[in-house]
Amino acid sequence: MRLKTYIVNSVTEAIPMIKKDLGTDALILNTKKVKTGGFLGFFKTEKLEVIAAVETKAPEKTKAKVEAKPKQKQPATTAKSQQATVIPFQQREAVEKNDAMAEELMSEIKGIKQFMLQVMEEDRLPVALKGLNKQLMEQGISKEIQSELYAKLITELEQDPKMSEREIRSFARKEIIELIASHQPAPVDKNPEIICFIGPTGVGKTTTIAKIAADFMLREDKKVGLITSDTYRIAAVEQLKTYAGILNIPIEVVESASELTHAMEVLSDCDIVLMDTAGRNYQQKQYIEELEALLSDKNKVQINLVLSLTSKYEDMKKIVDNFQTIVMDELLLTKMDETSSSGAILNLIHHYSIPIRYIANGQSVPDDIFTVTPELIADFVLGEDEK
């Protein structure tokens, strides 16, 4: 396979260049916005990076497999089928002539990425990438992220076929860090009066709140107060009261929005208040509605959704999606010490524009929590750092 990268103003500008260099059978694998040019770091302009490829002559074994498959009838071209089908350039002539169609073409490119997913099959990946492929598969990295990463790695390998496994992993680490930086927004600092922790049952909210409270006290020298609305579990209230006693900080128990207002008046001399909520079934709409009623004054509240890394990634997505009616400021991940897979962290960053500030990795208060950086996540994904 031959790959080539173009820096252009639009996809339609890249198409004739790709056809000239790689031929009409070439396919666009990936696009992303980049900053180029400038002087002394200023006046940079935004361009589009387009990665295209053309498949070279396939081995006889592969050709035999292809020829053995029955020829499928070409489906009718509709707006829906265009997004799910890899379309040759010669079928795009009408699109090429009109810049106004650029957005539609960008949607089509999502379907073209299926081409890269086929290349990612174990028997078609370059031998040099098989070790990395095994690592990413074990970590549960999404196919979409893998396709973006391999497109760049294959381009790099074509320029330097003698890259060692260490050099490949180093290049992959750099690309993962850049991917995180491009998708991970900075945490929103809106000087909240309350940081509220929400999420499903069993994710470790109460213990994590105690860790963060201790962190505020020890590192930032802030006066911290605690509130719990988790009156469904007596054990949870008693657990948070125990932590409050150990840390020598005040705690209030509330069951309604009016009681929350009163609790905030009692804790008015605190620099920050951390609030625990009941861990309930995230699929119950009533739970979401109760939270919305309790947190009616969102301007004063920072909301952190707590997820466990021991959950399946698909379940995590359902939880985040179900809480979308409540504006979430940050995700907080727990139980990293109980799983050998870190891929969900990268998947969440890539799929959602919600910052991740903390990851908890044990039961010890206040030690088992750390601040997230792109470098740490890349090391976890590539197995180059101890948890």
Q: Pick from 183, 202, 230: which residue ends a domain?
A: 183
What's the structural domain count of the chain?
2
Taking Cα atoms as reference points, which of 315, 367, 366, 307 lies closest to residue 338? 307
Q: Pick from 151, 183, 215: which residue ends a domain?
A: 183
* Inter-residue contact 231 to 278 (CB < 8 Å): yes
Q: Is residue 69 part of a domain?
A: no
Q: Are residues 366 and 245 in the same domain?
A: yes
Q: Are residues 23 and 122 in the same domain?
A: yes
The pairing of strands 356-360 and 369-371 is antiparallel
* CATH code where residue 221 lies: 3.40.50.300
Cα(169)–Cα(121) distance, integer angstroms: 19
Q: Are residues 122 and 208 in the same domain?
A: no
Q: Are residues 198 and 219 in the same domain?
A: yes
Q: Pick from 135, 151, 183: which residue ends a domain?
A: 183
pLDDT recorded at residue 345: 92
Q: Are residues 294 and 358 in the same domain?
A: yes
pLDDT recorded at residue 157: 82
Q: Are residues 205 and 147 in the same domain?
A: no
Q: Are residues 257 and 176 in the same domain?
A: no
pLDDT recorded at residue 331: 92
* Inter-residue contact 253 to 231 (CB < 8 Å): yes
> Residue 238 phi/psi, 5° resolution?
-65, -35
Q: Is residue 188 part of a domain?
A: no
Torsion, Cα 95 83 19 6, to 10 degrees, reads 100
pLDDT recorded at residue 385: 62
pLDDT recorded at residue 81: 38
Q: Which domain holds residue 229?
A: 194-381
Q: Is residue 150 part of a domain?
A: yes
> Residue 333 phi/psi, 5° resolution?
-105, 140
| First-to-final CA distance of the chain | 38
CA-to-CA separations, 263 to 209, 229, 269, 298, in angstroms, rounded: 18, 11, 11, 16
Q: Are residues 117 and 215 in the same domain?
A: no
Q: Is residue 74 part of a domain?
A: no
CA atoms within 13 A on the CB side of 63: 6
Q: Are residues 157 and 211 in the same domain?
A: no
Local mean pLDDT, 10-residue blocks, the chain (387 residues): 81 79 75 66 69 65 45 45 43 48 52 50 68 88 86 83 87 91 75 84 87 88 87 69 88 82 89 83 60 62 90 90 79 90 90 88 81 90 70
Q: Which residues of 297-312 are buried (b: 16+ CB within 10 A; e: fewer)?
A: eeeebbbbbbbbbbbe
Q: Is residue 70 part of a domain?
A: no
Q: Are residues 172 and 199 in the same domain?
A: no
